[in-house]
Amino acid sequence: MNLKTRLSKLEQTKRKITTEADCTCFPLDEPPLLELRAEIEAAQAVLCPVHGRRFSKLAPTIYRAIRLPGHLDSEWRRWRSAQYIKAMDASFPPDRWPATEIVEPDGAVRFVLKDGTEILRLAPPPEIFEYKVPTEWEQPL
């Protein structure tokens, strides 16, 4: 291999490494796990400087009651790839995120972004005024 070919390959490798460093796309095998409409819109609004659109589909989810928006719980960082973490950090810019948890006097919980947008409101659990002990025939087997 002559010097010109070696230099050409070295430049291509350098360009590829630089391109990968600028990429904020989600890995193909790790689509974003986002459940709230505000999270999805925030992630879609950010474009990758290299590829443009950063993901084509969301990770499949099973319906669950949301007690804490997924990106606010730091546990997901322990079992995700570095590229996924980089993409999630790019999705939620620090001028709006993270959301602040506000507990109302009635027990309701709201999550409000730094710009004032409310992204989730959890109603307080209903009060139980009376506890009724089931009779023998009402108890489950």
The predicted-structure confidence for 63-94, as pLDDT tens digits, reads as follows 777 777 777 777 888 888 989 889 988 888 88
What pLDDT shows up at residue 137? Answer: 67
DSSP state of 140: -
User: Rounded to two decimals, what is the model's pTM?
Assistant: 0.63
Residue with the larger pLDDT of the pair 121 and 14: 121
Q: How far is CA 99 from CA 38, 96, 108, 109, 118, in A?
A: 11, 8, 16, 12, 9
Any idea where the domains of the chain sit in the sequence? 10-94
What pLDDT shows up at residue 124? Answer: 78
Band (pLDDT 50/70/90 cuts) for residue 13 is low
